[in-house]
Chains A and B, each alone.
Chain A
Amino acid sequence: MYNFSYQKVSSVADAVEAMQKSEDGKFVAGGQTMLPTMKHRLASPSDLIDLAGVGELVGISVDEETVTIGAMTSHAAVAASSEVQDAIPALAKLAGNIGDPAVRNRGTIGGSIANNDPAADYPAAVIALGATVTTNKRDIPGDEFFIGMFETALAEDEVIVSVSFPKAGTAAYMKFENPASRYAIVGVFLVKFIDGVRVGVTGATACAHRGMRLEEALNGSFTADAIDSVELPIEKMNADIHASAEYRAHLVKVMTKRAVEACA
């Protein structure tokens, strides 16, 4: 990778200042995508501003209504948290199936959603649970956070502080994973709230999205069979060596059915 200037900061304010002073800086969280991307020279930031020393960004807190996870909390910490396991078990399970154990020890929730890989797991949960992404500037509704492939609502000098998930009624995450990378070829996070169903789909399109047609079918009848008649827009589906667009569309329905069965 090309060289850069590494800076470790100890507060969000210092991170923002470092970013504003840099020519073409990037924040690094766990670095599990950032460093491989830089090795491939797909990114070559002038400055790498490491958020690992910002203590205020780490930790999990749970109250009556929400589970709030600090942006720099590792996947391993979320997966192992008894509080998350009790409040939103599907979220703990999702975190525990990202990558592999060594990757989970470094990778963070903030890094995952800021990167917005089309096949990342967390975005499906952020969308389906209707989470709120809190930054140093504002609160961003989960539905409005993911804009396009590797693109989010974040400004260049905006730092994610935490993600707050409403405690769900019943939730399930079903992933058809790439056997080598464990990324989702398709992942479906389904939440059955008292007033209706929400579905977050990842891996299928340019970035994670709400499965409105799936929701509509399930709000009519919360059964796996209700998914059979749903028609998904194949032209919007990703296609690569792992799966064609048609196959991904099929997988979205299969994963949704499995999630329905897990929630029933």
Chain B
Amino acid sequence: MQTISMNINGVPVSGEVEDRTLLVQFLRENLRLTGTHVGCDTSQCGACVVHLDGVSVKSCTILAVQSDGCEVTTIEGLANGSHLHPMQQAFKDNHGLQCGFCTPGMVMSAIDIVNRNGCDIDEATVRKELEGNICRCTGYHNIVKSVQAGAKNMGG
């Protein structure tokens, strides 16, 4: 067992975990932050994407102990009270989801895409950048629209 501490959504947390505990397990099971989902558990689907020190990672493929001392942002950390993050709002406005299971990972990846590519991104870029996020419902069309709209919203 190891004692770890990190800042999650701006809040300092610490906990005791087995060495083999995954970051996503620590978030969901220890902290009850269940917005981050486990889809495939093989780093293919992206439902578990969170930001670690500001960049997207698949939290099913990183150990909790490896995140010791880091800044973590999860889907729960995006909204400001009842005011949604512009990317969340864009997914809502453009119906960028059906069952919603992949949505937290999609939104976290989408924000990372905007951080790296700016607010004016074409469809081809969005589709390529979303390679690591799988949706089994939508056919991606409205997700891509949402990401482009969310990108514009993030630019103000």
Residues of A within 8 A of B (CB): 1-6, 8, 31-32, 35-36, 38-39, 48, 50, 52, 76, 99-103, 105-106, 180-182
The answer to whether A106 touches B62 (Cβ under 8 A) is yes
Decide: A35 near B63, CB < 8 A? Known: A5-B19, A101-B112: yes
Given that A102-B132, A105-B57 are known contacts, is A52 also in contact with B41, CB under 8 Å in the complex? no
Besides the known contacts A6-B65, A52-B66, 20 further A-B residue pairs in the complex with CB atoms under 8 A apart: A1-B20, A3-B19, A6-B63, A8-B66, A31-B62, A31-B63, A32-B43, A32-B61, A35-B22, A35-B61, A36-B42, A39-B42, A100-B132, A101-B109, A101-B112, A101-B131, A102-B46, A103-B132, A105-B52, A180-B44
Interface of A is mostly: mixed
Q: Which residues of A contact B46 (CB under 8 A)?
A: 100, 102
Query: Quick one: which of A4, A102, A103 has the most chain B CB within 10 A?
Result: A102
Q: Are A105 and B20 in contact (CB under 8 A)?
A: no
Least distance between A78 CB and chain B CB atoms (Å): 14
Q: Is the CB of A101 within 8 A of B61?
A: no
For B64, the closest partner residue in chain A by CB is A6
Interface majority SS on B: helix, strand, loop or mixed? mixed
Give the interface of B toward A (CB within 8 A).
2, 18-20, 22, 41-44, 46, 49, 52, 55-58, 61-63, 65-66, 68, 109, 112-113, 116, 129, 131-133
List, in ascending order, chain A residues with CB within 8 A of B57's CB. 102, 105-106
